[in-house]
Chain A
Amino acid sequence: MRAFSLTIAGCMALAAPAAAQDTIKIGLGVPMTGDYAPYAEWQGARCMAEMINAEGGVNDQMIEVLVQDSGADTQTAISLAQKFLDEGAVMLGTIPFSDTMIPVAQVAQSYGVSIFQPQSTQVEMHAGIVDNFFTGVSPDPFTATAAANHALAQGVKNVVLLTSDEGGSWSAKTPLWFGDVIEAGGGKVLTKLNFSFGTSDWSPQIAEMRALGEDIDAVYISSIMPDVGVLIRQLRSAGIDAWVVGSDGFDDPSLDAIATDDASLLDRVFFATLAPSQADSAVVNFIADCAEMGIDVPGLFPATGADTVKAVAWAVEQSGSTDPETISATLRDADSIPVLTVDSISFKETRTYAQRTIPVIGFENGERVLIANEIPTNTPTDW
Chain B
Amino acid sequence: MDYAIQQMVNALSFGAEYALLALGLAIVFSVMGLVNFAHGDVIAVGGYTMVAFAAIVTANPWIVILGAIVAAALTSVLLERVAFRPVRYADPTTGLLTAFGVSIVLQNLFLLFVSPRPIAVTSLYFMDVPIEMFGVQVSSLQLLESVTTVLVIVGLTLFLNRSVWGLAMRAASLDFEMVRLMGIRANRVFALAFLISGLLAGLACIFIMARRGSVDPHLGFNPVLKAFVACVVGGFGSLPGAVLGGFLLGAVEVGMLVLLPQEYGGMKDAFVFGIIALILVWRPNGILSPAVEKGDKL
Q: Interface residues, chain A, CB within 8 Å of chain B? A: 32-35, 37-38, 163-166, 172, 191-194, 196, 198, 200-201, 203-205, 207-208, 210-211, 225-226, 229-230, 233-234, 237-239, 252-254, 257-258, 260-262, 298-299
B211 touches A201 (CB 8 A): yes
Q: Which parts of B186-225 form the interface with A (CB within 8 Å)?
A: 208, 211-214, 216, 218, 222
Within the complex, which residue of A193, A230, A299 is in contact with B211, where a contact is CB–CB below 8 Å? A230
Known: A163-B262, A230-B213, A239-B130. A201 touches B122 (CB 8 A): no
Known: A192-B262, A200-B212. A299 touches B117 (CB 8 A): yes
Known: A193-B262, A211-B3, A237-B139. A38 touches B116 (CB 8 A): yes
B7 is an interface residue with CB less than 8 A from chain A:
yes
B10 touches A165 (CB 8 A): no
Using A226-B212, A262-B125 as known contacts, list a sample of 13 further A-B pairs with CB atoms less than 8 Å apart, ordered by residue number in A. Answer: A37-B111, A191-B262, A194-B260, A194-B262, A196-B269, A201-B211, A207-B258, A226-B213, A226-B216, A253-B117, A257-B120, A258-B122, A258-B214
A200 touches B257 (CB 8 A): no
Which residues of chain A come closer than 8 Å to B129, judged between CB atoms?
Answer: 237
A254 touches B214 (CB 8 A): yes
19 contacts between A and B (CB under 8 A): A32-B111, A33-B107, A33-B112, A38-B117, A193-B262, A201-B13, A203-B9, A204-B254, A204-B257, A204-B258, A211-B3, A226-B118, A230-B211, A234-B128, A237-B139, A254-B118, A254-B120, A254-B214, A299-B117
Which residues of chain A come closer than 8 Å to B161, judged between CB atoms?
Answer: none
B6 is an interface residue with CB less than 8 A from chain A:
yes
Which residues of chain A come closer than 8 Å to B130, judged between CB atoms?
Answer: 237-239
Which residues of chain A come closer than 8 Å to B6, judged between CB atoms?
Answer: 203, 207, 210-211
Cβ of B214 to closest chain A Cβ, rounded Å: 4
A233 touches B125 (CB 8 A): yes
Inter-chain CA distance A204–B262, complex, in Å, is 14
Within the complex, which residue of B3, B111, B119, B128 is in contact with A233, where a contact is CB–CB below 8 Å? B128
Considering the complex, give the chain B residue whose CB is closest to the CB of A256.
B120
Considering the complex, give the chain A residue whose CB is closest to the CB of B138.
A203
Inter-chain CA distance A181–B294, complex, in Å, is 69
B284 is an interface residue with CB less than 8 A from chain A:
no
Q: Interface residues, chain B, CB within 8 Å of chain A? A: 3, 6-7, 9-10, 13-14, 17, 107-108, 111-112, 115-120, 122, 125, 128-130, 137, 139, 142, 208, 211-214, 216, 218, 222, 254, 257-258, 260, 262, 265-266, 268-269
Which residues of chain A come closer than 8 Å to B142, judged between CB atoms?
Answer: 203
Considering the complex, give the chain B residue whose CB is closest to the CB of A296.
B115
Considering the complex, give the chain B residue whose CB is closest to the CB of A197.
B222
A257 touches B10 (CB 8 A): no
B262 touches A37 (CB 8 A): no
Cβ of B54 to closest chain A Cβ, rounded Å: 10
Inter-chain CA distance A37–B117, complex, in Å, is 8
Which residues of chain A come closer than 8 Å to B7, judged between CB atoms?
Answer: 204, 207
Cβ of B227 to closest chain A Cβ, rounded Å: 14
A298 touches B115 (CB 8 A): yes
Considering the complex, give the chain B residue whose CB is closest to the CB of A254.
B118
For B3, B116, B142, the residue with the greatest tally of chain A CB atoms inside 10 Å of its CB is B116
Which residues of chain A come closer than 8 Å to B213, judged between CB atoms?
Answer: 226, 229-230, 233, 258
Which residues of chain B come closer than 8 Å to A32, judged between CB atoms?
Answer: 111
A207 touches B10 (CB 8 A): yes
For A200, A205, A211, A260, the residue with the greatest tally of chain B CB atoms inside 10 Å of its CB is A200
Cβ of A255 to closest chain B Cβ, rounded Å: 9
Which residues of chain B come closer than 8 Å to A198, judged between CB atoms?
Answer: 222
Cβ of A144 to closest chain B Cβ, rounded Å: 18
Inter-chain CA distance A193–B117, complex, in Å, is 27
Which residues of chain B come closer than 8 Å to A205, judged between CB atoms?
Answer: 257
Closest 3 A/B residue pairs (Cβ): A194-B265, A165-B266, A257-B120
Which residues of chain B come closer than 8 Å to A260, judged between CB atoms?
Answer: 120, 122
B10 touches A203 (CB 8 A): yes
Within the complex, which residue of A210, A238, A239, A298 is in contact with B117, where a contact is CB–CB below 8 Å? A298
A226 touches B258 (CB 8 A): no
Cβ of B56 to closest chain A Cβ, rounded Å: 16
Which residues of chain B come closer than 8 Å to A196, judged between CB atoms?
Answer: 268-269
Which residues of chain B come closer than 8 Å to A166, judged between CB atoms?
Answer: 266
Inter-chain CA distance A208–B214, complex, in Å, is 26
Cβ of A122 to closest chain B Cβ, rounded Å: 17
Considering the complex, give the chain A residue whose CB is closest to the CB of B250.
A201
Which residues of chain A come closer than 8 Å to B122, judged between CB atoms?
Answer: 257-258, 260-261
Known: A237-B139, A258-B213. A194 touches B125 (CB 8 A): no
Which residues of chain B come closer than 8 Å to A33, judged between CB atoms?
Answer: 107-108, 111-112, 116
Known: A237-B128, A239-B130. A204 touches B10 (CB 8 A): yes
Inter-chain CA distance A87–B232, complex, in Å, is 49
Inter-chain CA distance A298–B114, complex, in Å, is 11
B117 touches A252 (CB 8 A): yes
B214 touches A229 (CB 8 A): yes
Known: A33-B111, A226-B213. A201 touches B14 (CB 8 A): yes
For A33, A172, A192, A230, the residue with the greatest tally of chain B CB atoms inside 10 Å of its CB is A33
Cβ of A120 to closest chain B Cβ, rounded Å: 18
Inter-chain CA distance A192–B264, complex, in Å, is 12
Which residues of chain A come closer than 8 Å to B265, judged between CB atoms?
Answer: 163-165, 193-194
A203 touches B120 (CB 8 A): no
Which residues of chain B come closer than 8 Å to A207, judged between CB atoms?
Answer: 3, 6-7, 10, 258
Which residues of chain B come closer than 8 Å to A229, judged between CB atoms?
Answer: 120, 212-214
